[in-house]
Structure 1
Amino acid sequence: MRFRRAGDVMTADTVRVGPATPVAEVARSLADDGIGGVPVVDDEDRVLGVVTRSDLTRHRGGTEHSGQPAGPSVAGPVATGRATEGPTAGALMSAPAVTVRAVDSIALTGRIMADRDVGRLPVVDEEARLIGIITRRDLLRVFVRPDSDLRDEILDEVVVRALYLDPAPLTVSVADGVVTLRGRLGHAADVSVAVGMAARVDGVVAVVNELTGRHARASG
């Protein structure tokens, strides 16, 4: 049975900047692409940090307080000429960056977002190079799934492919993400396995177990 990973649902075409990128260009990237943050990478695409709208807001507030000209507004126009001096992405970025690996589970990715109170995470490969971005919206697309999709996946992936069971004696119903399993299995041990695997399907809220087993598996 295959569960979704961060690499399955991430956005691969990712905006990125270097540590020497002027703040004006960073602000323009956020505004033009309608995003809340951008990874800062080195020459080998390894993630060094992240610059967010909040970082730019704090920078503007600091320069205004010090009497220096404020940086460009994220939502407004920015200078189009090439910047030669001034703050850079490397100076403003939050570092070290919180990242997830492409092979990390969706559940782990969601916990990291919640624990760190962030709405997006850079996704890296086994060599820590940036390969995508995953957002809360990406996670919602996984977990908010039609009940019919959940039912089909449980029948096909759990019952048939994983447990090698005949689905005919079983009834799988799903309402608002709550799965109800009814029927009689050949072995009592299959009941707990079926319930456990169904509960792990992305998008399942809870499992109501109304399964029974006829007899225990023979040992030895």
Structure 2
Amino acid sequence: MLVEEIMKTEVITLPPTATIKQALFLLNKHKIRHIPIINEHHQVIGIVSDRDVRDASPSIFETDDSNPAELEHEIQTIMSHPVVTIHPLDFVEEIARIFYDKEIACLPVVREKNRLVGIVTEKDMLYTMIQLTGTHVQSSHIEIKVPDRPGILPAVTAIFGKRRTNIVSVLVYPYKGDADYKVLVIRIQTMNPLPVIQDLREAGYALLYPNNTVGLNQ
């Protein structure tokens, strides 16, 4: 899946000379958490978060001024820069690592000459991961311990194919404690996985979940 498939293209932005007060207004009005700061060429030069604005705003206990001077400061005085950006043709699975490594909650999407074309937030990423794992649809969850060797995945999925079972998602994880094995996490679109589970056992595969014939997960 590519970034262009999940990014939002309607992005609220501000120039660097906008005030903190303007940023605060937009954050509250549109219920967003980040605003990219762009120059006259629509290039990303910074970004501000709701936390940046909150930290720069006067305390709520200060009541002697209804329009404090701090809010009139230019947004460029508090924006973060340089900005980590991504491209529309980047893979979603790879930018998830950027979110994790950089500990950030928003990534502007840029094309040629650093021009802003969209934005991806951690909420967008979380929803995309839900879709990729298949947990957004009713399904049954099966975990299988398999040898880490070529051809094992088609061999396992062939068992599902014989039952004409629709596979919603397939994930592959390392098996803890033994690098010679992997764990296949397969979600299938059936509320009665017992027949295919029995087929897997008869084929000699070790099921980690369910590890017995009761308590099947939906």
Specify if TM > 0.5.
yes
CA distance in 1, matches of 2:6, 2:15: 25
Moved more, 27-36 or 141-150: 141-150
Which of 4, 8, 15 is 1:11 aligned to? 8
After TM superposition, the structure 1 = structure 2 runs for residues 101-140 of structure 1, keeping only pairs within 5 Å, are 101-140=87-126
Q: In structure 1, what is the equivalent of residue 77 of structure 2?
A: 91
Structure 2 SS opposite 1:39: strand
Q: Give RMSD over aligned pairs.
A: 3.7
State the distance in 1 between where 2:39 and 2:154 align.
46
Match of 1:60 in 2: 57
Partner-residue secondary structure (3-state), 1:48: strand
Give distance in 2, aligned partners of 1:179 and 1:149. 18
User: Aligned pairs, how many?
Assistant: 158
- Please give the residue correspondences for 1:1-220 in structure 2 after superposition, counting only pairs within 5 Å: 4-60=1-57, 69=68, 71=70, 86-145=72-131, 147=134, 175-176=140-141, 191=151, 204-206=170-172, 207=184
1:101–1:126 Cα contact (<8 Å) kept:
no
**Runs of 5+ consecutive residues of structure 2 not aligned to the other structure:** 156-167, 173-183, 187-199, 204-218
Amino acid at match of 1:126: E
CA-CA distance at 1:194 after TM superposition: 5.1
- In 2, Cα distance between equivalents of 1:33 and 1:148: 29
Q: Work out the percentage of aligned pairs sharing the same amino acid.
A: 22
Q: In structure 2, what is the Cα distance between the partners aligned to 1:125 and 1:108?
A: 17
Structure-2 change in CA distance of 1:208 and 1:11 (3 Å): closer
| Structure-2 separation of matches of 1:203 and 1:92 | 43
SS of the residue 2:114 aligns to: coil
For the residue of structure 1 that corresponds to 2:35, the secondary structure is strand
> Structure 1: which 5+ runs fail to align?
73-85, 151-173, 183-187, 196-201, 212-220
With normalisation by structure 1, the TM-score equals 0.59
For residues 34-69 of structure 1, the C-alpha deviation after alignment (integer angstroms, 9 at most, x for no partner) is 01110001111110010111111221259x99x993
Q: Which amino acid aligns with 2:171?
A: V
Which residue of 2 is the match for residue 164 of structure 1? none
Q: By how many angstroms is 1:6 displaced? A: 1.2
